[in-house]
């Protein structure tokens, strides 16, 4: 493991004018297949979803959830966090992970099985974000990730998804040192 591990505690960010213009999220409601894989449950999209970051295009590979959140904000974790893992392979594999803090609200009835349909745009909040270079938080912890961590949490309205996150979310990896990295923020 190197010196750019994730997750981190988001604080002391450098505000960058026009940083928000570098992010273009193209998600839509879709059907997902869910199954338990080596590191936990993964939702794989049936359709194509894209994120453009700094002129680079990434395709959605999977969604997964951590409870409590992996990223901290000024020394505090949040209730849960969604990771939308986007990949591109040119000369080497690179990832862009869009992380969204999730508010689970009140527990509701559930059948305990993962929902097949997810309204992905409803899980993307308005507002700013933090950006930094880091690693995957599972597996080999490869340092190949451009992280976009949204500032505002979203409320999960789908009772089945809310219940599934409560019972099947991955455990968080401990917060890692920032070291000599810059953490950027929208203005």
pTM of the model as a whole: 0.95
Distance between CA atoms of 62 and 77, rounded to whole angstroms? 23
Cis check for the bond before 140: say yes or no (omega within 30 of 0): no
pLDDT of residue 9: 98
Percentage of the residues of the chain whose pLDDT score is greater than 70:
97
Does the bond joining 74 to the residue before it have cis omega, within 30 degrees of 0?
A: no
pLDDT at residue 90, as a whole number: 80
Token code pair at residue 51:
């994120």
pLDDT of res. 108: 67
Q: How many Å separate Cα 149 from the centre of its chain?
A: 7
pLDDT for 109: 66
Give strand pairing partners of 87. Answer: 59, 95
| Block residue for tokens 């004018």 | 17
pLDDT in tens, 25-44: 999 999 999 999 988 999 99
Residues in the chain: 187
Q: What is the chain's pLDDT, residue by residue, as a tens digit (187 residues)? A: 799 999 999 999 999 999 999 999 999 999 999 999 988 999 999 999 999 999 999 999 999 999 999 999 999 999 999 999 999 988 788 999 999 999 998 776 666 788 989 999 999 999 999 999 999 999 899 999 999 999 999 999 988 899 899 999 999 999 999 999 999 999 7
Set out the domains of the chain in order of their start, with CATH numbers.
9-185 (3.10.200.10)
């Amino acid at each position: 493991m190197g010196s750019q591990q994730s997750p981190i505690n988001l604080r002391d960010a450098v505000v960058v004018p026009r940083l928000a213009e570098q992010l273009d999220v193209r998600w839509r409601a879709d059907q997902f297949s869910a199954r338990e894989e080596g590191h936990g449950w993964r939702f794989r999209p049936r359709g194509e979803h894209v994120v453009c970051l700094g002129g680079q295009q990434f395709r959605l590979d999977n969604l997964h959830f951590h409870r409590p959140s992996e990223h901290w904000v000024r020394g505090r974790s949040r209730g849960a966090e969604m990771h939308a893992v986007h990949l591109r392979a040119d000369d080497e594999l690179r990832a862009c992970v869009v992380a969204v803090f999730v508010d689970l609200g009140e527990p509701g009835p559930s059948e305990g099985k993962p929902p097949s349909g997810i309204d992905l745009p409803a899980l993307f909040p308005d507002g700013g974000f933090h950006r930094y270079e880091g690693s995957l938080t599972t597996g080999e912890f490869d340092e190949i990730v451009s992280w976009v961590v949204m500032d505002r949490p979203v409320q999960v309205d789908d009772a089945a998804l809310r219940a599934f996150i409560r019972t099947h979310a991955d455990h968080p990896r401990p917060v890692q040192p920032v070291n000599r990295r810059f953490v950027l923020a929208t203005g």
